[in-house]
Amino acid sequence: MNQRCCKTIGSIFLLTLLSGMLLFSPAVAFAVQSQPPVQTEWWVWEIALFVFSFFLGIIAVIAGVGGGVLFVPIVSSFFPFHIDFVRGAGLLVALSGALSAGSPLLKKGLANLKLALSMALIASISSIAGAMVGLAMPENIVQLSLGATILGISVIMLLSKNSAYPEIKEPDTLSKILHIYGIYYDEQLKKDVSWQIHRTPVGILLFVVIGFMAGMFGLGAGWANVPVFNLVLGAPLRVSVATSIFVLSVNDTAAAWVYLHKGAVLPLIAVPSVAGMMLGTKIGARLLTKVHTRVVRKLVITLLAAAGLRALLKGFGI
Amino acid sequence: MKQQLHANRIQLTYATVLSWTSTLGIIFVITGYLVYVFQLLPSTVPPSEVALHWHLRAAELHKIVPVPSGWDWIYQLGRGDVLSYASVVYLSSVTMLCLAVIIPLFLKENDVIYAVMTLLQVLVLVFAAAGIVSGGH
């Protein structure tokens, strides 16, 4: 009973946090949106961005989503930075998160190098193409397509049901040639779980599309990587989540270089975002058992949908 | 049943290199940023001036203020903003370093498919970093 009470209080706290983020977001507080922030000192934006990213990091972990997918639509809605720089920062947020989480997952054997490398090679090329197209598109088209994508992601997150241990009766020929199979120790089952995959060519094609979209909008692509690994290829959920992080580190690196060359990475925007998000993620991981994750997840999906709608309206000039 | 680790030697090597390089990257990124915002070194463009233009498209901002981009900063490492930018560049190079380390390990194990695949992956990232396939100038 006490635990349930604590969880409810925790959820209410996070609900308040979410509402606070929207109500007291810098754009509202300083009544500035896409105009130059003449009256506001630059360091105020720096602190606001750090604090905002910190809370976003907490919420992202609890909701089980990557920080990058929340970062771009929300920060581009509420901060005065051009969406070019927000996308550049979004890629670095997703990249730094993937880099810091990658090592333990690889050591435990949850992330699989061969599975990741097979998907990442072509996906990273499409990620570069996506970034180039995204930076060449007119701003309103970027906003429109970002809005539509974010709304689509909200629907995917709402409807997708993962399968913890998919059963693959017969692996496909390509996965046999590429030796894509593995075994990991499942802490929940307290035993080793071996796995294999099927539909490898379909998976590669889907990763091409995902890479393109991730590069185009500066989004981390965990929202799409995990369902493809898990539901299409048939990898266990834990392996899917861990390997998705590895793929993300390769694809986002490729796209980040396009943003660096096009001058769309400003350390003044990228670094407070990366630092805030990483710190928030660590706190969020500690809070994970203290809040109703399902409630928070639904709230985040609502927030994401609202940010998507806002981007769409911006795209239409409303 | 006792927990056993199922990662192979190549995967463990990648993980170890990743752990060191990414930790170093985070330290570098935060240090570079603090040097820049607290103006501990002179900057090409001070933060206040960048902030006046960060609502513009990247291409427009670069016409007005010469903030570092691509590799054009390489001879100005003594500047705060350049140092901060270099730290971001380093962070974007970590994956490349880790992948490059495991190519000889794949070859040692006669795993030609993955040695070639990893080499191609590194080449894609090197070309992107050099601006060859990423629209650099």
**Under 8 Å between Cβ of A164 and A246:** no
pLDDT reading at A23 higher than 50 = no
Q: Which residues pair with B94 in a beta bridge?
A: none
- In this structure, is residue B135 part of a structural domain? no
Look at A92 and B92 and tell me if their CB atoms are within 8 Å.
yes
Tens of pLDDT, residues A217-238 = 888 787 788 889 998 999 998 8
- What band does A174 get if pLDDT is binned at 50, 70 and 90? very high
B23 in any annotated domain? yes
Non-local CB neighbours of A260 within 8 Å, separated by 6+ positions: A88, B69, B70, B88, B89, B92
Q: Is the pLDDT of residue A194 over 80?
A: yes
Q: Which residues of chain A lie closer than 8 angstroms to B99, CB-CB?
A: 250
Looking at the domain assignment, is residue B61 inside a domain? Answer: yes
Q: What amino acid is encoded at B86 in this protein?
A: A
User: Would you state the pLDDT for residue A29?
Assistant: 40
Q: For chain B, say whether A152 makes contact (Cβ under 8 Å).
A: no
Residue B49 pLDDT = 95
- Residue B3: inside a domain, yes or no? no
Do A268 and B50 make contact, defined as CB atoms within 8 angstroms?
yes
With beta carbons less than 8 A apart as the criterion, state whether A99 and A249 touch.
Answer: yes
CB pairs under 8 A between A and B: 211
For residue B61, give the chain A residue with the closest CA.
A263
pLDDT tens sequence across A36-84: 555 689 999 999 999 999 998 888 777 767 777 888 888 988 899 999 9
Chain B residues in contact with A192 (beta carbon < 8 A): 1, 4, 6
d(CA B134, CA A264): 12
Predicted pLDDT of residue A31: 38
A277: pLDDT confidence band, cut at 50, 70 and 90?
confident
Q: What is the pLDDT, as a whole number, of residue B16?
A: 95
Which comes out higher in pLDDT, residue A195 or A2? A195
Joined together, the tokens standing for residue A176 give 């046999």
Q: Do B62 and A104 touch (CB under 8 A)?
A: no
| Cα–Cα distance, A124 to A137 (Å, whole number) | 20
Q: Which amino acid is at A41?
A: E
Tally the domains of chain B.
1
For residue B127, the SS3 value is helix
For residue B99, is it within any domain? yes
Position A26 scores a pLDDT of: 46
Residue A13 pLDDT greater than 70, yes or no: no
More confident: A142 or B103:
B103
CA distance A154 to A162: 15
Contacting residues of B for A114, CB less than 8 Å apart: 114
Q: Is the pLDDT of residue A248 over 60?
A: yes
**Whether B128 and A34 lie within 8 Å, measured CB to CB:** no
H or E segment to which residue A279 belongs? helix A267-287
Residues 184-213 of A with CB under 8 A from B: 184-185, 187, 190-192
> Which A positions 118-147 lie with beta carbon below 8 A of chain B?
118, 120-121, 124-125, 128, 131-132, 135, 139
Residue A92 and residue A260: Cα distance in Å, rounded?
10
A263 lies within 8 A of chain B by CB? yes
pLDDT of the residue at B135: 57
Nearest chain B residue to A100 by CA distance is: B22
Tell me the average pLDDT across A254-272.
95
A45 touches chain B (CB under 8 A): yes
- The region of weakest confidence among A28-32, A239-243, B121-125 is A28-32
Residues A107, B114: C-beta atoms closer than 8 Å:
no
pLDDT > 90 in chain B, percent: 82
Q: Quick check: A213 pLDDT over 80?
A: yes
pLDDT over threshold 80, residue B115: yes
pLDDT at B31: 96
pLDDT at A314: 82
pLDDT at position A2 over 60: no
The answer to whether residue B2 is domain-embedded is no
Place of tokens 């009973």: A1
What's chain A's average pLDDT?
83
Question: What is chain B's mean pLDDT, rounded?
Answer: 91
Among A262, A269, A277, the residue to mutate for chain B (most B Cβ within 10 A): A262
Name the more confident of A59 and A93. A93
Give the confidence band of B85 by pLDDT, cuts at 50, 70, 90: very high
pLDDT-derived band at B1 (thresholds 50, 70, 90) equals very low
Query: Taking CB atoms and an 8 Å limit, are A178 and B53 in contact across chains?
Result: no
Domain carrying residue B86:
9-130
A289 pLDDT higher than 60 = yes
B1 lies in some domain: no
Residue A76 in tokens = 């581009």
The complex's ipTM? 0.93
Residues of A in contact with B18 (CB under 8 A): 99, 102-103, 106
pLDDT at position A27 is 46
Is pLDDT at B96 greater than 60 in this prediction?
A: yes
Q: What pLDDT band is residue B72 in, cutting at 50, 70 and 90?
A: confident
Q: Report the pLDDT value the prediction gives residue A172, as an integer from 0 to 100.
A: 94
Q: Nearest CA to CA, how far is A251 from chain B (Å)?
A: 9
Classify residue A174 by burial, with Cβ atoms within 10 Å: 0-12, 13-18, 19+.
middle
- CB distance A257–B92 less than 8 Å? yes
Are A106 and B128 a contacting pair at CB < 8 A?
no
Q: Do A274 and B29 touch (CB under 8 A)?
A: yes
